[in-house]
Amino acid sequence: MTRPQPQWLDWARKLQAIAQNGLTYAQDPFDIERYEQTRAIAVEILATHSNLDNGQARAVFANGIGYQTPKIGVRGAIIQNDAILLVKERATGLWTLPGGFVDVNESPSEAIEKEVWEESGFQVQAVKLLAVFDPQKHGMALHPNHIYRLFFRCEIVSGEATPGLETEAVDFFSEDDLPELCPYRNTAVQIKRMFDHYRHPEWPTDFD
């Protein structure tokens, strides 16, 4: 399900990208000043239309360096006995597939294996890339940054359910009995799609 992106967020993201790219390459002090002003406008747009103040908006939205590109997040789908592994976030009190952002010098598969271990206590092996989703095309809650999310099917190698620093509970849930999900991380439709892939391992990777 595609969710229309509000015009203000589109404007803010574009202005932020123009500003960050300009600050990366500009040499003239007057150009640098103009790009800083452009970035400030992007931050103000985000703060005006969200629950963030200017400082918070700048911290999550406009603190990057280098050429602006979408961020990459990873999520792990671990299914056993027709139930999928979810973790409960301390920050939101909501449930999600384990995962997070990919760090520099880390491949996507390395990232998801690390995130699952840190958040659930299970050591896993990533065995297949199931989907590459653009959240704004899948009815997900709005996020300041443009993020691509990579969903991997993972298999448990060892370990036991153990919450981590960012999680307060770990459990398996059936497809028809999902808990309240964090809308920024994944949707019920996406999780159900992971079950579909589990039942049809021959399917190709989803994208967009």
Distance CA 125, CA 173 (A): 20
3-state secondary structure of 99: strand
Q: Which CATH class is domain 71-207?
A: alpha beta
Question: What is the distance of C-alpha 106 from the center of its chain?
Answer: 16
The pLDDT assigned to 149 comes to 95
Strands (E) in 31-188, as ranges, are: 71-77, 79-80, 83-89, 95-96, 99-101, 122-133, 147-159, 167-174
Distance CA 62, CA 19 (A): 9
| Boundaries of every domain in the chain | 7-61, 71-207
How many CA atoms does the CB half-sphere of 82 hold within 13 Å?
A: 4
The pLDDT assigned to 4 comes to 63
How does strand 122-133 pair with strand 206-207? parallel
The yes-or-no verdict on residue 1 having pLDDT over 50 is no
pLDDT tens-digit map of 102-127:
998 999 999 999 999 999 999 999 99
- How much of the chain exceeds pLDDT 70, in percent? 98
Consecutive H or E run containing 15: helix 7-25
Torsion over CA: 73, 188, 3, 45 (sign): negative
CA distances from 129 to 90, 94, 108 (A): 27, 25, 10
pLDDT tens-digit map of 16-69:
999 999 999 999 999 999 999 999 999 999 999 998 999 999 998 998 889 999
